[in-house]
Amino acid sequence: MSPIDDPEKRKIARHHLLEKSVCRKCGALNPIRAKKCRRCKSKDLRLKKRELTK
């Protein structure tokens, strides 16, 4: 798989992969603007880590 060179495609891919909220209780991925978890209804959400690991 080759890296994405087009900056516009890279921006779209970054948005879909990294712009999420994660529930601290069950670990489910939620939309970034979510107020509560879609799975367990907990309000304890955090932003997904945005730095890519090596």
Residue 8: how many CA atoms within 13 Å on its side-chain side? 0
Output the pLDDT for position 2: 74
Question: Pick from 24, 26, 5, 18: which is nearest to 48 by CA?
Answer: 18
Is 7 inside any structural domain?
A: no
Domain boundaries, position 32: 16-47
How crowded is residue 22: how many other Cβ atoms within 10 Å of its Cβ?
Answer: 16
Residue 53 pLDDT level (bands cut at 50, 70, 90): low
| Residues pairing with 45 in the sheet | 23
Is 9 inside any structural domain?
A: no
Output the pLDDT for position 51: 76
- Digit-coded pLDDT (tens) for 2-52: 788 899 999 998 899 999 999 999 999 999 999 999 999 999 999 999 876
Output the pLDDT for position 47: 96
Is 20 inside any structural domain?
A: yes
Output the pLDDT for position 54: 55
Q: How many domains does the chain have?
A: 1
Is 6 inside any structural domain?
A: no
